[in-house]
Structure 1
């Protein structure tokens, strides 16, 4: 029986693959061509158009050649996307680009139309022409061209850094809110000890990789069945070396547990995913911003635009109510699974630290970062404010060291939501 982790990896591979959906399109096109040839000439069909054998052969041959050319064109666009993403955006974004459904639909339509026309070619005889199929091949070409235009329009607009930032930020916020809703109200009863006394069993990983996802339902069911508590050692997103402990087992009948079945509920892979790791979305946003700040690009305005989405994401994180770890309980309120989480301080550090370090010499970045932090001070609850004040202190130190001229120093200390040219804000007063 295939484990949950293996099934998860297969789903990830299928989502990232660029050949599986086109393969289905290829097979479907061949099947539809056979159906069209079989139905041709049926009395109940309203269609009665006719083609000569020469015309039908020429049309279908042209369709086959056109689909091959269009497939090559889309592959060329894909190569350009890879070059741009790895050079000016973030290599981590490629994982999301591979999964785009429109791109797979375009490739599937092209391969399906190719297979449809190629299969019909062998049905053409001097006295028998698949008239319905030839007409449908023309319709398929029209649909293919329309999808190609939609594809070009989408990627022309969506390859801009700000569009990618909006997409990635929205995905991260969705995962964060969904995950918070899933664990809300599942804490163990306060009167019971969190971890049972007794020996602790260590379930170790056989292969190394990044912890991509956890089968919470499966681990909870196994812990309930064996009357124990599973403690995840690493949060989602950490790299786990071969032989390291993945899960600690406290209490219960640990001798009856199969380590492979337990670790089979934890998926390891080559790189991080957003499915259970919203911090990865923040990581991609920061990567795009610091690439824009590199001397080779020198585009602080793009970094300011990305900071807009980072600020929105941080406000969402601040409202969710994060904990350093999550204790999930069964239906009787007994703790069964402990999962480490990321705190607000960790998210904030990811969101602003590198941008501050690489953009400390830019007036735009300093002013935009101050506006971001001042906005967090105004809206977040009291328990989040010490970390924000600490980041403001770090920003003040960076401004002091980089801007020695009094006038430029005063400009760098001014909060501006547009970096330069926006409505300047006075320094935020301490809450309370």
Structure 2
């Protein structure tokens, strides 16, 4: 849905989706506004309260009853909020210790948790905003309809608390975590690589009419490259008749003081233009999944490596991680490589941005697992099966060659660590892979 929006707007929307600030704050402010407006409307138009049946709120003439109900709901909701935060923090702590500290990013983006906190805080804001309307002086007034709305919100909070506990109990299971990371990684692949695979006329790292810029634009803030606004860079390069080359791809660490961009004409690089170019590249202390496909892969790899470590010894979790990694690589192998050269006008390379290719992503996904699982037959067999699945959908001969090479290395690394029967099964899986990739 956001694929056709400008990259800067996509970046803002991506940041707004994460964390426990924006969505809960919007929901709570909205409900607080509704509480204040509804009580004001009910006071301005007393006939609104007459619509509510007498049986639902019999003490409609006593403002003290409304005050007690609103204050009791507001007080109890804040207690529930503290319980929710305690459950959430405990879940995050357990998950980060058992699986990987990097998965906290995906937990903070969970919409169910954000909406639950927003409804609880919004109910509190609703009651506080409506409470001043229930008064005795200068005349007695009881906001009947507003109090009934607070009672409905209290019931919704009880249901929401039960659903939240159920959701958290599922969210901390490893299969749920890995599946969610894989789904977010697939979304990043679809946004960065929307076109299906096709043969290129030239290698991904080269382009016709490309020049090598040599005027450095130094990085000012150390951190990971999280987002590159290609449209802004192309527009700046076209406006000032420059050619740019970004030296770091998304996901790589960029120390302060290194050349982050290289330009073709140094005499045109004013301080203001340098700052505008640097502002097109977002650098932060941690990686994100907006444009960084490798980050999602590494999160799953971290879980797999901890699972097959001697201290944990949980091959079932490692197998689940290998399955999800094969899911990601299958999608990646069926898409065109990420665009590296941007033209304006056609035939003139304005901006060159490095991107991760299939071989690099394949190594990030399976190389460490292959090394540490060489003594585990189940994980090694599933690794070969995953490579076979990827080879089934891979259209490129180079991709199939990389898969065949990795499969051979996996079998070679298991020699001396597995018995002959296990090695026989490994060689059988390798033969299937080699037949498919020949």
TM-score, with structure 2 as normaliser: 0.86
Q: Contact 1:183 / 1:328 at 8 angstroms: preserved in 2? A: no
Give how far 1:256 is off. 4.4
Partner residue of 2:275 out of 256, 260, 280: 260
Partner residue of 2:388 out of 363, 374, 394: 374
The answer as to 2:237 corresponding to 1:233 is no
Give how far 1:64 is off. 1.4
Partner Cα distance (1:12, 1:377) in 2:
33
- Unpaired runs of at least 5, structure 2: 1-5
Partner Cα distance (1:191, 1:386) in 2:
24
Partner Cα distance (1:373, 1:428) in 2:
10
Counterpart of 1:309?
Answer: 324
The answer as to 2:45 corresponding to 1:35 is no
Give how far 1:288 is off. 1.5
Cα-to-partner distance string for 1:267-296 (whole Å, 9 max, x where unaligned): 000111111111111111111111211223
Partner Cα distance (1:192, 1:397) in 2:
41
Partner Cα distance (1:113, 1:263) in 2:
43
The answer as to 2:170 corresponding to 1:157 is yes
Instruction: Please show how residues 93-108 of structure 1 align to structure 2 within 5 Å.
Output: 93-108=103-118
The answer as to 2:340 corresponding to 1:326 is yes
Q: SS state of the match for residue 244, structure 2?
A: strand
Cα-to-partner distance string for 1:273-321 (whole Å, 9 max, x where unaligned): 1111111111111111112112232110111112111111111111113
The answer as to 2:369 corresponding to 1:355 is yes
Tell me: CA distance 1:158–1:187, structure 2 relative to 1, closer, same or farther (3 Å).
Answer: farther
Partner Cα distance (1:191, 1:107) in 2:
50
The answer as to 2:407 corresponding to 1:397 is no
Q: Contact 2:218 / 2:261 at 8 angstroms: preserved in 1? A: yes
Q: Contact 2:246 / 2:261 at 8 angstroms: preserved in 1? A: yes
Partner Cα distance (1:139, 1:386) in 2:
62
Partner residue of 2:379 out of 353, 358, 365: 365
Q: Contact 1:213 / 1:275 at 8 angstroms: preserved in 2? A: yes
Counterpart of 1:136?
Answer: 149
Cα-to-partner distance string for 1:345-367 (whole Å, 9 max, x where unaligned): 11111111111222222111111
Give how far 1:53 is off. 3.5
Partner residue of 1:193 out of 209, 218, 221: 209
Cα-to-partner distance string for 1:175-223 (whole Å, 9 max, x where unaligned): 21221237999999x9952116xx7211111111100010100000011
Partner Cα distance (1:7, 1:209) in 2:
22
Partner Cα distance (2:201, 2:437) in 1:
31
Partner residue of 1:250 out of 257, 264, 279: 264
Tell me: CA distance 1:24–1:181, structure 2 relative to 1, closer, same or farther (3 Å).
Answer: closer
Q: Contact 1:279 / 1:347 at 8 angstroms: preserved in 2? A: yes
Cα-to-partner distance string for 1:90-129 (whole Å, 9 max, x where unaligned): 2211112112222222111111111222333333334322
Let me know the Cα RMSD of the aligned residues.
3.0
The answer as to 2:122 corresponding to 1:112 is yes
Tell me: CA distance 1:312–1:10, structure 2 relative to 1, closer, same or farther (3 Å).
Answer: closer
Cα-to-partner distance string for 1:118-160 (whole Å, 9 max, x where unaligned): 3333333343222111101001112222333333333322332
Cα-to-partner distance string for 1:61-93 (whole Å, 9 max, x where unaligned): 321122112101210121122112211222211
Give how far 1:333 is off. 2.8
Give how far 1:7 is off. 8.6
Q: Contact 2:411 / 2:427 at 8 angstroms: preserved in 1? A: yes
